[in-house]
Amino acid sequence: MSGQGVWLRARERLRRFPELLAGCRDQAAAYGKCVAATTTGPAELRKDVCTKEFEALKECFTQAAKKTMK
What's this model's pTM, rounded to 2 decimal places?
Answer: 0.72
Q: How many domains does the chain have?
A: 1
Query: Which domain range does residue 42 map to?
Result: 3-68
Q: What are phi and psi of 32, to 5 degrees?
A: -60, -40
H helix runs in 1-70, sequence order:
4-23, 25-38, 51-69
- pLDDT at position 26 is 95
Of residues 33, 61, 60, the one with CA closest to residue 49: 33
Taking only the tens place, the pLDDT of each residue in 25-55 is: 999 999 999 999 988 878 787 888 999 999 9
| Neighbouring C-alpha atoms within 13 Å toward the C-beta of 62 | 6
- pLDDT at position 51 is 96
| Neighbouring C-alpha atoms within 13 Å toward the C-beta of 8 | 4
